[in-house]
Amino acid sequence: MTRPIYPINLIKDLYIKRHKMPWDTVKKIMSSPKDLDRFKKWIRVLQEELGWEEKIVLPIHEHLFIVNKDNRLIVKGKCGYEYGDYRENWKLRCSIYVRKDEDSLNELWGELLSPDPHWTEFREYYCPGCGTLLDVENVPPGYPPIFEFLPDLEGFYKEWLDEEIEAENLSFEDKSMDLVDKWSKELESERE
């Protein structure tokens, strides 16, 4: 199977131009075997576009990137806002607005197509740095925020890419509860 090698500008176009790229080109990329150096070029494109000093380790969202900052892997927003350890659900550090009554839900699609606040709420998570809408969860009240992606970076780099990765917080574990525990302790001390 012959693997194509695309010029970096093509990967950049895919990111920047997107729907403005000629459909024939996109279709050809879709139908062909994948270019094996895509990830390297993808990271290069992002690194150039964002112009950050920190190395981008993994993009996890249109707006969010895991970067290596002083040997610690953190989530950083496109606007530069830093969210903290990538093993913590970044949503816990967002600004949140919840549509949970008829008026705020009706704002979305009007009455006819509107969800029912007795069955759901719409949570909008915003980037505290720039107000970008990062996620919309339609979940019943009480459902904990969904931690969508916790990558196994050591496995990815060392075993799949055969590349080195160094950082002090590589271990593959969900650290979100550390933050929630902190909130719980603060709550308890306030009570005391």
Q: Binding of another protein at residue 169 (CB under 8 A)?
A: no
Q: Binding of another protein at residue 60 (CB under 8 A)?
A: yes
Tokens (6 digits) for 9: 């500008």
Binding mask 79-118 for another protein (x = CB under 8 A): ------------xxxxxxxx--------xxxx-xxxxx-x
Q: Which of 9, 48, 177, 178 binds another protein (CB under 8 A)?
A: 177
Residue 127 CB-density burial (10 A; 0-12 exposed, 13-18 middle, 19+ buried): buried
Q: Which of 5, 101, 178, 183 binds another protein (CB under 8 A)?
A: 183
Q: Binding of another protein at residue 120 (CB under 8 A)?
A: yes
∠ CA 155-159-165, rounded to 5°:
65
| Shortest CB 27 distance to another protein, Å | 9
Binding mask 10-39 for another protein (x = CB under 8 A): -x--xx--xxxx----x--xx---x-x-xx
- Interface with another protein (CB under 8 A), residue total 83
Binding mask 121-140 for another protein (x = CB under 8 A): -x-xxx-x-xxxxxxxxxxx
Residue 20 CB-density burial (10 A; 0-12 exposed, 13-18 middle, 19+ buried): exposed
- One DSSP character per residue, 55-88 reads EEEEE-SSSEEEEEETTEEEEEETTS-EEEETTS
What residues have CB less than 8 Å from 143, skipping those under 6 apart?
137
